[in-house]
Amino acid sequence: MTPYVNNTLWLNVPTTLLTITGGRLRLAAQESIRYSFTFDIAQKGQDTDMIGSTVKLTDSEGVVWAGRSIWHVDDFLNPIGSLGNIEAPFFADHAPAEVTAAFAEGLFLSGARGLMDDDFYRRLEIGTTMHTIPMQYQSPLLDLAYRADDEGDLSALYARVNQLYAHVDDAEEAEEPVFIIPPFIARVEVEVCSRLFINYYIQDENGHWESNIPQLIVFEPTEERGEKNPLVTHEAS
């Protein structure tokens, strides 16, 4: 069963979300609005996979609404090691107990294939080791997991990267001076309003996903019922 984790959303202004029925979901401002979300592999491709995220909101009548957006694996890989990261990546075999538990108990998905090939080089520090990573024909695998607090709410989101290779520094005459970096983990951030509620990809008639002008995701009612939330109201068309 796909795991969902709870979180809260804070909005400065009243916000309207689209629904498949033609109506609107209206979210109150200046309030902490509860929602839940999950990730999964939306489509297995020939070279790379696409990741899907599903967000659920419960309205004032207890109806649970779900909306879906599509991500590229690189959307999680590219920010790793950036200056904006909360903490530096660390090797999986040195992970704290709570992070290891996250991948055992809160695994969203495993083995999503990326494709990184822009002919640039990047320097990435993992633990205390600096790696030179050639961005050529890189096909890393991505696992995503979450850690929840005592109340069951999101505490952290983690990406575990496998099969990423790096150059051997100071190699003198090696024809293939590369090695596979051991699995490592990075804490990643998800901007709720700019990613979970917005879709950046569209599927063409051949089933291929292409980047598109960002669009608000469209919510549809599910058969689920939850605790009534007066901060989310549904207005029929």
pLDDT tens digits for range 85-120: 667 899 999 999 999 999 999 999 999 998 887 777
**Banded model confidence at residue 174, pLDDT cuts 50, 70, 90:** very low
Lowest mean pLDDT across 46-50, 152-156, 175-179? 175-179
Burial tier of 69 (Cβ tally within 10 Å: 0-12, 13-18, 19+): buried
Domain spans in the chain, listed from the N-terminal domain onward: 5-235
Cα(156)–Cα(106) distance, rounded to whole angstroms? 11
* Global confidence as pTM: 0.89
| Stated length of the chain | 237
**CA 113 remoteness from chain centre:** 14
SS3 helix, strand, coil % of the chain, rounded to 5?
A: 10, 50, 40
Q: Which residues contact 89 (CB under 8 A, 6 or more apart)?
A: 80, 81, 124, 125, 126, 127, 161, 184, 185, 186
Please measure the distance between the N-terminal and C-terminal CA atoms of the chain and give it in whole angstroms.
Answer: 34
Take residue 57 and report the two structure tokens written for it.
């909101």
Distances (CA, A) of 213 to 42, 55, 95, 157, 198: 20, 20, 38, 26, 10
